[in-house]
Homo-oligomer: A and B are copies of this chain.
Amino acid sequence: MSLQPVLINGTWRAAQSTGTFKSEDPATGTPLPYDFPISSWADIDAALTAASSAAAALRTVPVTTIGKFLSRYAERMEARAAELSETANKESGLARSPRLADVELPRTTGQLRQAATAAIEGSWSAPTIDTKANIRSHLAACGPVAVFGPNNFPFAFNSAAGGDFAAAIAAGCPVIAKANTSHPRTTQLLAEEAFAASQDTGLPAATVQLLYRTGHDDGAKFVADRRLGASAYTGSRSAGLKLKAAADAAGIPIYLELSSVNPVLMLPGALTERLQKCIDEFVDSSLLGAGQFCTNPSIVFLLASDLTEQFISGVKAKFEARPVAPLLSNNVCKALTSSVQILQKAGAKLITGGTAQGPGYRFAHTLLRVDGDAFVQHAEALQTEAFGNAALVVVCKDAAQLAACINAFEGNLTGCAYSDTNGSDDALYNQVVPLLRPKVGRLLNDKMPTGVAVSPAMNHGGPYPSTGHAGFTAVGIPASMRRFGNLHCFDNVRPHRLPAILQNTNPVNGEKKAWRQVDGSWTQGDIAS
């Protein structure tokens, strides 16, 4: 057995390991050939020391070089696309097409290129200049960032390639990637290309480092280490909250994306107007990627009616007819089984599905229902995230009960309202959506939440417990970069000692100059000296 190497301080070297693990093909349950190390604290410690030096060095690297690295990495990823998609498919069970090769990989390289542009352009850092007081401030790289990627996007949220990685690097922070243990080989290949791109463009050796797995206590010690500027974690709520407790106690910011049931309010007029479309859009979104999206619409609220019964039976029929794809791992399958049991214990009735099935790790498409009274009474249990291809329908007797349900919501990434186009739902919309709005990061109309556009206006975030801080987004350049900036103010600092972006002459780095807030107005111009 030869263990795959970790990447620390520019060297692919043997880990100081406390154990090993393998990934599996979830479509068959077969272990994959590579053995990966579980790193001891010694590996984490070495990575943190190297990252500290890299962070200091990166502060003097021109933003154009950081931009070149991100673009070069995107090119390298594209050159290795076939092997990456093949590997990610084996480790995740997700289809090469339409998904890994033709959707997720282009999204990932597109995100890296957007990050490159934003790093070079500089507006992300909110340069603010008060010329009268001669006080100037901007967001500056916070230091090394530990990224813990999730299982469900082997490329787009990968700890060595995805949104958090791109945002941290673009903000000027070295990344210590902790691979998701369900796709270590995919992460290794990505980190190879990231590291090669960093060498191609002359970045510090420890700009990108990779560990595959750590012990739980070492993970907590990692995010609480004072050499770290911040952490970004996407994954299960229980593991995330342990990291949050450790990081919070040490005062090191941690950005978490934990869990979300993404409620959908299907108002009566929408069903009257377009029942089949409502069914189709819900089913497609609900079963996309076997339901393994952070923004999966897991709970639908409707008012009791014949049309609501038709909606439910329509969804049931489609759930039963649609082929069942493998889940990401045995762990996902076990957690889904357990969550569906929790929902049932809390009063939800099974309409279809509810059991694991082979080959590999699959679960029958599952639909449950419960009434609004029960939801209000057992709101916490009935908001258990059933990560995967399961959904709960809540049938409310009237608008007041729907409002009571919404008032019992926890924080969510998204909330949707479907309504008709002729205004008959407007009164109900105006009654209930103001209750929903503060509970969710992204409010949608007549559209399912699974698509998360990489847009400057996107919010992939929301109130606790969907994330750890409702002021930030994990998707969308440049907004997601702000998580990795510390506010640096310069008071009466001599002109030649200021960062370029705060000097009177607005520097030209890329195609356009940064927008700067100068004396209360936003401008790309220079300041008269």
- List residues of chain A with CB under 8 Å of any chain B CB: 56, 59, 128-130, 133, 135-137, 139-140, 142-143, 244-245, 248-253, 411, 414, 429, 433-434, 437-438, 441-447, 449, 453, 455-459, 461, 463-465, 468-473, 479, 482-483, 485-494, 497, 515, 517, 520-522
Contacting pair B136 A445 (CB below 8 A): no
Contacting pair B492 A444 (CB below 8 A): yes
Residues of B within 8 A of A479 (CB): 128, 137, 487
Closest chain B residue to A247, Cβ basis: B248
A520 to chain B, nearest CB (A): 7
Closest chain B residue to A244, Cβ basis: B248
Interface residues of chain A: helix, strand, loop or mixed (majority): mixed
Assuming the contacts A445-B493, A492-B444, A497-B445, asked whether A520 and B456 have C-beta atoms less than 8 A apart, the reply is: yes
Contacting pair A251 B456 (CB below 8 A): no
Closest chain B residue to A484, Cβ basis: B471
Residues of B within 8 A of A137 (CB): 457-459, 479
A481 to chain B, nearest CB (A): 11
Contacting pair A251 B472 (CB below 8 A): no
Contacting pair B520 A464 (CB below 8 A): no
Q: Top 3 closest A-B pairs, CB basis?
A: A251-B464, A459-B489, A522-B522
Contact with A442, one of B414, B489, B522 (Cβ below 8 angstroms): B489
Copies in the complex: 2
Contact with A487, one of B143, B429, B473, B517 (Cβ below 8 angstroms): B473
Contacting pair B443 A491 (CB below 8 A): yes
A411 to chain B, nearest CB (A): 8
A471 vs B479: C-alpha distance in the bound complex, in angstroms?
A: 13
Contacting pair A488 B459 (CB below 8 A): yes
Assuming the contacts A248-B248, A251-B468, A521-B515, asked whether A489 and B133 have C-beta atoms less than 8 A apart, the reply is: no
Residues of B within 8 A of A135 (CB): 453, 455, 457-458
What are 15 A-to-B residue pairs whose CB atoms are below 8 Å?
A59-B434, A128-B479, A129-B457, A130-B457, A142-B470, A244-B248, A251-B411, A251-B463, A251-B464, A252-B464, A253-B469, A433-B497, A444-B493, A459-B488, A471-B487
Contact with A133, one of B437, B449, B453 (Cβ below 8 angstroms): B453
Closest chain B residue to A466, Cβ basis: B251
A126 vs B469: C-alpha distance in the bound complex, in angstroms?
A: 17
Residues of B within 8 A of A143 (CB): 438
Given A445-B494, A447-B491, 18 further pairs, Cβ under 8 A = A59-B434, A130-B456, A130-B457, A133-B453, A133-B455, A143-B438, A245-B248, A251-B465, A251-B468, A253-B469, A253-B470, A429-B497, A441-B486, A444-B492, A470-B486, A471-B485, A471-B486, A515-B517
Assuming the contacts A128-B479, A253-B471, A522-B522, asked whether A446 and B486 have C-beta atoms less than 8 A apart, the reply is: no
